[in-house]
């Protein structure tokens, strides 16, 4: 299969039972460290939300959410969440969190339009987190500080895994580097966005690529972002636009870059209105979430999602996310993986 990567002479370092134990070890330890680093309380989150309120994550704007009618609500339709980017902001307002504190939760989603490969599944599990900030925090210096804290939690988790399983050796660098997507384009103008990610991730080992969503100097965005959660249009102190980004690492098992987190400072009322204008989606201003934000009823926040299965996959040195989570895969992919020692759950 063209999208499937088969590492040469791949052999999983852990048995199936060790893998399951390792998954629990990573999830328990990382989320506690994340909570401590960012001062987050764990909350309960929905699997689905009502359609038409503007709460669900629109991702790139083309993915179809799984939906179903609700008998008890006169057949109103609910949607399985894509992520909880906007729901978390509503929840912070509801619970009355002060700046410097926030929430995290286990987010479980179904993305039926996902292209399936080593990293992408129909089933998505993330640590979704969000914290209240002040207007003075809406800058790159603050964003970089948050990224470094998350990366520190990741490094500590890698150390724990390697202590528990000596057959696994650490590979993450001690520091994460930062680069704007426009700088990346200027450095590698002849490469595609994914090729640029591979090149810079291999060079640095771990990198936070900033400014995801807005058009670059070539007239195209580095990658897609919905216009109503991350702020990708506000000019920053580096002379570029965008207060968001992706945490990427170089993963030797697959010999490619792997995104572990998408995150950023969230839109203000002004930047959301501008981003909706850029995308020609001004009609969304009438939706429930957007009205709450435009009226100043929601706090300024920073937040993101961290892939649970991906973190477990890379720290346990697996070749396929299906070795970490139970999902549905094309039959040919299952057969080809099995032939090369990749046992999908």
Active-site positions?
57, 111, 126, 246, 259, 262
Q: Is the dihedral of CA 310, 35, 97, 264 positive or negative?
A: negative
Q: How many CB atoms lie within 10 A of CB 279?
A: 16
- Cα–Cα distances (Å) from 185 to 201, 216, 218, 249, in that order, read 14, 8, 8, 18
- CA–CA distance, 75 with 86 (Å, rounded to integer): 24
Residue whose tokens read 């890698």? 158
**C-alpha distances in Å from residue 88, one per residue of 65, 81, 316:** 18, 12, 30
> For residue 14, which of 25, 4, 3, 6 has the smallest C-alpha distance?
25
Phi, psi of 253 (to 5 degrees): -60, -40
CB neighbour class for 5 (10 Å; exposed up to 12, middle 13-18, buried from 19): middle
Whole-number Å distance between alpha carbons of 294 and 288? 10
- 29, two tokens: 């330890």
Coil, strand or helix at 149: helix
**What is the number of other CB atoms lying within 10 angstroms of the CB of residue 233?**
21
Distance separating alpha carbons of residues 59 and 63, to the nearest angstrom: 7
Does residue 34 contact residue 154 with C-beta atoms inside 8 Å?
A: no
Q: CA 93, CA 95: separation in Å to the nearest integer?
A: 6
CA–CA distance, 274 with 268 (Å, rounded to integer): 10
């Amino acid at each position: 299969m063209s999208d499937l990567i088969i590492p040469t002479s791949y052999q999983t370092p852990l048995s199936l039972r060790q893998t399951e134990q390792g998954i629990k070890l990573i999830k328990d330890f990382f989320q506690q460290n994340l909570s401590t680093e960012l001062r987050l309380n764990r909350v309960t989150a929905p699997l689905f939300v009502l359609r038409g309120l503007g709460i669900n994550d629109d991702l790139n704007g083309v993915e179809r959410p799984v939906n179903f009618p609700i008998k008890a609500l006169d057949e109103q339709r609910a949607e399985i969440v894509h992520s909880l980017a906007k729901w978390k902001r509503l929840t912070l307002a509801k619970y009355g969190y002060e700046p410097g504190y926030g929430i995290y939760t286990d987010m479980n989603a179904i993305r039926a339009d996902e292209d399936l490969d080593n990293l992408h599944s129909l089933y998505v599990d993330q640590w979704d987190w969000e914290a209240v900030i002040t207007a003075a925090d809406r800058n790159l210096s603050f964003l970089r500080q948050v990224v470094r804290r998350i990366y520190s939690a990741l490094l500590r988790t890698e150390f724990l895994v390697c202590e528990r399983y000596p057959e696994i050796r650490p590979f993450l660098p001690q520091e994460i580097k930062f680069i704007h997507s426009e700088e990346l384009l200027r450095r590698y103008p002849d490469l595609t966005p994914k090729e640029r990610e591979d090149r810079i991730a291999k060079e640095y080992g771990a990198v936070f690529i900033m400014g995801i969503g807005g058009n670059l100097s070539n007239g195209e965005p580095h990658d897609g972002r919905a216009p109503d959660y991350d702020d990708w249009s506000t000019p920053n102190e580096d002379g570029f636009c965008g207060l968001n980004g992706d945490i990427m690492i170089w993963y030797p098992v697959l010999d490619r870059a792997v995104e572990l987190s998408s995150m950023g400072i969230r839109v203000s009322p002004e930047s959301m209105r501008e981003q909706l204008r850029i995308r020609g989606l001004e009609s969304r201003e009438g939706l429930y979430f957007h009205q709450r934000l435009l009226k100043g009823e929601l706090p300024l926040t920073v937040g993101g999602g961290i892939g649970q299965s991906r973190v477990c996959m890379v720290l346990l040195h697996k070749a396929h996310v299906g070795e970490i989570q139970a999902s549905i895969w094309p039959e040919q992919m299952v057969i080809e993986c099995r032939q090369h020692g990749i046992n999908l759950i």
